[in-house]
Structure 1
Amino acid sequence: MELKGDFKDDIRFALGNILLNNNMYKLAKDIYIEYLYEEEKDQTIIPELLFNIGFCFYKSNDYENALSFL
């Protein structure tokens, strides 16, 4: 079974959100960053994606990296 490209991306972003909402910041950050550097992505969620990455760094007490994404 093959998934449409945008469905796969939506699932990854949703998975990142689920992990974030369950305080699993490192895993969420890793998924968000992987999605951020994909060539094809939904451009409309970039601001939220960047904020979420920064928030994950912040909650992990990595303030320097948090500032670079917020």
Structure 2
Amino acid sequence: MSRCAFCGGQQRLGNHFFAHRYAQRKIETVKVCPGCEPAAREAGYVVAEREPSVSSDGREDSGTTPP
């Protein structure tokens, strides 16, 4: 399970996006559900890639495909 940093809602892995906010000498990264994307953008976050999900065999999916 994964929790949204804005609404606190929990969903299965792979349903949230990573959002990054850049400040001097640090990057803050949080998880954001699709419904909270606009709020994250308004708060200064850049919504990026979707978090990795867990496949049916229990292994984590990297979220990328091989070349």
Q: Which has the higher contact order (CA 8 A, sep 6+)?
A: 2
Which structure has the bigger radius of gyration? 2
The answer to which structure has the higher strand fraction is 2
Normalised by the length of structure 2, the TM-score is 0.30
Normalised by the length of structure 1, the TM-score is 0.30
